[in-house]
Amino acid sequence: MKKSSVSVRTDLRTDDVVVGVVEATRERRQFLKRSLGAAGAVAAVAAAPVRAADPIGKDFPGWSTTPGTPMRSYGQPSKFEEKVLRTVTPSYGPISPGTGTSRTPLQTLNGTITPNGLHFERHHNGVPEIDPAQHKLLIHGMVKKPLVFTVANLLRYPMVSRTCFVECAGNSSANTLPKPAQANCAAIHGLLSGSEWTGVSLSLLLDEAGVEPGAKWFLAEGADSAAMSRSVLLEKAYDDAIIALYQNGERIRPEQGYPLRLLVPGYQGNMNVKWLRRLELAAAPMHTKDETSKYSLLLRDGTARQFDFQLGVKSLITQPSGTLNVPGKGLHEISGLAWSGAGRIVKVEVSSDGGANWREAVLQGPVLSKALTRFRLPWEWSGAPAMLQSRATDEKGHVQPTRAAWSAIYSLANRYHNNMIQTWAVAADGSVSNVYL
Amino acid sequence: MFISKRLAVSAVAMLLLGACTTQSTLQQSSVPGPALGRVASADEVKAWSISIPPSGVGLPAGSGSVQQGLAVYTAKCVACHGEKGAGKPADAIAGGKGTLASADAVRTVGSYWPYATTLFDYVRRSMPVNAPMSLSNDEVYAVTAYMLNINAIVPAEAVMNAQTLPQVAMPNRAGFVDYSRK
């Protein structure tokens, strides 16, 4: 009984809207034909809406007719989104459960800012629980006076924000494997996230310590049990590096480096050293394990590029993408992310035929330097098999390479800086798979 | 009457503000911060200066032989890095020589690492994974000697210390190209 009454009333409403549109159209026609007459007014009266019957509650779902839950001190996503999670991938299993990654579910997110709880993780020996009252940051080496900063002191410094991507240098390395992995966007490309980071300009702290002439590098070292350390060119400190204390407005989470991390926009994710405890200025790089045996780029000829920090121009269609089926023929929005360590994205092109023809996508503003940029393009899918690709260009003129162009430079055993064009094959049944072209 | 009262209040406020200007003023945006860094003591800096560059500057006193290193390796490393550094479940330490130009390149201490000092630095700060920073300097020197030996980089009678370690010539040293200025 209830159901049928809803059905009837909905039909009436729908007819009502349609009628209204018809009458309005007729009115415009008449207006064009002659001058404004009485016919339009008559039509408006005929289209008066049918009102709901009382009591109205029976026609609404339960959440509209009962009081909701109270306020809570820290919000959580809807329970209906409980499957939107990071993909956790330990590197070595039980011998070191805290070593490995968790990957951002890019295929189920939209916009350009990653929720803090879904920002990817890469740890080399777990997440330390650091008491901010005991943590300190030491700046020493080639400085006039070595300085120690407490977290409380750093919080008193003038702050700046950087909206930028952080991408692990090893992101998308699955696509260097001989056969394309049949996995979702998170598993293949999820070592990528976007945030607004806020903190203290590194140059401000270095100036306070007084940089000695001849200093060209600084070593950044974490306070975790891996004591991860990287050498960074000093000029980055005077460009845009910050000591980040906040992520998307709240204090950085433990897995992102609480209480503070180095942020070097556009550089290898690994260089954004978390749980930062020490900066040592020097004339030369330290050649740490993570800048020699790891995070160096193996080329086809067997030599390796060392200290190649900036991540290349890259884009990726996130919807549709691996394992996300296209639900049927008709109009869909192709959507994805583009970014470059060199600056702003100026163009993203999309192909549905494996790169034979390209159409420029719309970039969603604001387009920020070294930040995730969302692109969108309507796609009328006929139901025929398609090969979807995206290709980004940045403001320095760098164009995202094809798989063949990338492989002409880098060894396929190189697991870093993979910015080759991704191809998603859409089959006639709408299933999406990862393919190499 | 109302207006003049408000003016009087304003005048008092201005006087108060004037009296406070020495303590509270807005600054130009170029002012270099509150300068809250505390000068670190020499001991404080020394205790935390654990990084070892290729020059070997900062290497501690102590030493260790290949044979002593085998004992350390057997007790604390082999469970993760395998017999003679063969790897699994953790990274391989030995092997892979001559593979770097192939699609199946295997990067190990012997086939890839450019500096022996990095081995000392990394082991001392990060290993073993279940108890980082627990090895003595002698043990770190010893296990470094052992890992170099299983890669045929130093002989079985080698002893590593602050003098010998920076002199070790790693086979792939020339394989790295500095890209920092490109």
C-beta atoms of A225 and B132 within 8 A? yes
Residues B152/B169, Cβ–Cβ less than 8 Å = no
A318 and A299 in one domain?
Answer: no
Residue B74 counted as domain residue? yes
Supply the pLDDT for residue B25. 74
What is the rounded CA–CA span in Å between residue A401 and residue A405? 6
Q: Which of A221, A61, A302, A210 is nearest to B99 (CA)?
A: A302
A127 and A19 in one domain?
Answer: no
What is the rounded CA–CA span in Å between residue A152 and residue B132? 28
Residues in contact with A103: Cβ distance below 8 Å, sequence separation at least 6, in sequence order: A86, A87, A88, A89, A120, A186, A187, A190, A191
**Beta strands A314-319 and A330-339, pairing class:** antiparallel
Supply the range of the domain harboring residue B109: 62-171
A330 and A228 in one domain?
Answer: no
Which of A17, A33, A64 is at the close of a domain? A64
Residue B117 counted as domain residue? yes
Name A374's bridge partners.
Answer: A337
A58 and A131 in one domain?
Answer: no
- The shortest C-alpha distance from A228 to chain B (Å) reads 8
What is the rounded CA–CA span in Å between residue A104 and residue A430? 24
Residue A382 counted as domain residue? yes
C-beta atoms of A125 and B126 within 8 A? yes
Rg of chain B, C-alpha, whole Å: 29
Residue B121 counted as domain residue? yes
Position A316, amino acid: L
Supply the pLDDT for residue B23. 67
What is the rounded CA–CA span in Å between residue A27 and residue A20? 10
* CA A229 centroid distance within chain: 25
Supply the pLDDT for residue B71. 98
A131 and A222 in one domain?
Answer: yes
Bigger pLDDT: A145 or B7? Answer: A145
Give the rounded percent of residues in chain B with a pLDDT score beyond 70. 85
Residue B139 counted as domain residue? yes
Q: How many residues comprise chain A?
A: 437
Please name the member of A282, A304, A309 whose beta carbon is closest to the beta carbon of B176.
A304
Task: Give residues 61 to 90 of B whose Cβ lies within 8 Å of A.
Answer: 79-80, 89-90
Supply the range of the domain harboring residue A294: 87-305
Q: Which of A97, A127, A95 is nearest to B87 (CA)?
A: A95
A361 and A291 in one domain?
Answer: no
A301 and A319 in one domain?
Answer: no
A contacts of B125 (beta carbons < 8 Å): 226-227, 229
A202 and A130 in one domain?
Answer: yes
**What is the per-residue pLDDT across A247-300, written as a single tens digit (0 to 9) for each?**
999 999 999 999 999 999 999 999 999 999 999 999 999 999 999 999 999 999
Count of domains for chain A = 3
A contacts of B113 (beta carbons < 8 Å): 292-293
Count of domains for chain B = 1
Residue B45 counted as domain residue? no
- The shortest C-alpha distance from A329 to chain B (Å) reads 41
Q: Where does residue A325 fall: left (phi above 0), alpha (psi -120 to 50 degrees), or beta otherwise?
A: beta
A237 and A118 in one domain?
Answer: yes
Which of A257, A284, A305 is at the close of a domain? A305
A contacts of B101 (beta carbons < 8 Å): 300-302, 411
B163 pLDDT more than 60: yes
Residue B54 counted as domain residue? no
Please name the member of A124, A226, A305 whose beta carbon is closest to the beta carbon of B179.
A305
Give me the CATH number covering residue A197.
Answer: 3.90.420.10
ipTM above 0.90, yes or no: no
C-beta atoms of A292 and B114 within 8 A? yes
- Two tokens at A387? 């090969």
Residue B125 counted as domain residue? yes
Mean pLDDT (chain A) is: 91
C-beta atoms of A286 and B175 within 8 A? no
A134 and A202 in one domain?
Answer: yes
Supply the pLDDT for residue B28. 63
Residues A422/A388, Cβ–Cβ less than 8 Å = no
To which residue do tokens 């992310």 refer?
A337
Q: Where does residue A289 fall: left (phi above 0), alpha (psi -120 to 50 degrees), or beta otherwise?
A: alpha
Give the predicted TM-score (pTM) of the model. Answer: 0.88
Residue A348 counted as domain residue? yes
Residue A149 counted as domain residue? yes
Supply the pLDDT for residue B24. 74
Please name the member of B32, B50, B179 whose beta carbon is closest to the beta carbon of A308.
B179
Residue B8 counted as domain residue? no
**CA torsion through residues A247, A248, A254, A259, sign:** positive
C-beta atoms of B113 and A293 within 8 A? yes
Which of A64, A79, A102 is at the close of a domain? A64
- Two tokens at A222? 């974490």
**What is the per-residue pLDDT across A26-44, written as a single tens digit (0 to 9) for each?**
444 444 444 444 444 444 5
Residue A268 counted as domain residue? yes
- The shortest C-alpha distance from B152 to chain A (Å) reads 18
- Two tokens at A143? 């400085």
A contacts of B53 (beta carbons < 8 Å): 282, 284-287
Supply the pLDDT for residue B26. 76
A153 and A30 in one domain?
Answer: no
Residues in contact with A214: Cβ distance below 8 Å, sequence separation at least 6, in sequence order: A142, A283
Q: Which of B180, B125, B167, B94 is nearest to A288 (CA)?
A: B125
* Cβ neighbours around A232 below 10 Å, total: 25
From the number of C-beta atoms within 10 Å of its C-beta (0-12, 13-18, 19+), residue A36 rates as exposed
- Using alpha carbons only, what angle is made at residue A315 by residues A271 and A295, rounded to the nearest 5 degrees? 25
Bigger pLDDT: B17 or A301? Answer: A301
A156 and A301 in one domain?
Answer: yes
Give me the CATH number covering residue A375.
Answer: 2.60.40.650
- Two tokens at A37? 């007459």
- Two tokens at A63? 């959440």
Residue A71 counted as domain residue? no
Name A387's bridge partners.
Answer: A353, A425
Give me the CATH number covering residue B70.
Answer: 1.10.760.10
Nearest chain B Cα to A150, which residue? B37
Task: Give residues 7 to 36 of B whose Cβ lies within 8 Å of A.
Answer: 32-36
Name A349's bridge partners.
Answer: A360, A391
Supply the pLDDT for residue A48. 77
Q: Which of A421, A184, A193, A418 is nearest to A321 (CA)?
A: A184
